[in-house]
Amino acid sequence: SSEPHDPNCIFCKIIAGQIPSRKVYEDEELFGFHDIAPWAPVHFMLVPKRHIPSMAQVTPEDSALLGKIMILAPKLALEQGCRPYPQGGFRIVVNTGAEGGQEVHHLHVHVMGGPRPWLKG
Ligand code: 5GP
Ligand code: ZN
């Protein structure tokens, strides 16, 4: 469905260490790093190392990968300074396609939290 890496992709370059980032997590198939222009006091992204362009391309074969991201997010959110549920918590966003607000076409899960009033809607 998609090539493992795209030489023109900024997130593939971050994963490869060709562009520096503030890493929050890494394993064989996932990479986590702070957003360079945070929308919230805590804002990092989790991305598959494999170049999947967006949520529009995921298949049942990606189920375990996506599940792993969702299980990891709450743990990393606490590590990165989000307060615990329910007073604290976090928001997960996956922008998909132009009308979904996606600017970088390498699947990424935004995890955002910290004291309001950053959160709208
Ligand atoms: P999107 O709008 O595609 O969901 O979000 C892409 C995000 O990637 C944006 O929030 C943007 O700030 C972040 N971003 C873009 N380029 C870089 C970069 O070079 N380094 C880091 N750490 N984040 C980036
Ligand atoms: Zn990529």
pLDDT digits 0-9 by tens, 75-104? 999 999 999 999 999 999 999 999 999 999
Q: What pLDDT, on a 0 to 100 scale, did the predictor assign at position 21?
A: 98
Domains in the chain: how many in total? Answer: 1
Within a domain: 36: yes
Within a domain: 91: yes
Q: Which residue has the tokens 């935004």?
A: 110
Within a domain: 66: yes
| Residues marked as catalytic | 108
Q: Which ligand is nearest to the CA of 93?
A: 1
Within a domain: 20: yes
Is the ipTM value over 0.85, yes or no?
Answer: yes
Within a domain: 2: no
Within a domain: 74: yes
Taking only the tens place, the pLDDT of each residue in 26-73 is 999 999 999 999 999 999 999 999 999 999 999 999 999 999 999 999
Which atom from ligand 1 is nearest to the alpha carbon of 94? 4
Q: Specify the CATH number for the domain of residue 70.
A: 3.30.428.10
pTM of the model as a whole: 0.96
31 burial via Cβ count (<10 Å: 0-12, 13-18, 19+): buried
Cβ–ligand 1 distance for 100 under 6 Å, the answer: no
Structural domain of 62: 10-113
Neighbours of ion ligand 2 (CB under 5 A): 6, 9, 11-12, 51, 106
Within a domain: 119: no
Distance CA 21, CA 42 (A): 15
Within a domain: 51: yes
Q: How far is the CA of 36 from the centre of ligand 1 (A)?
A: 6
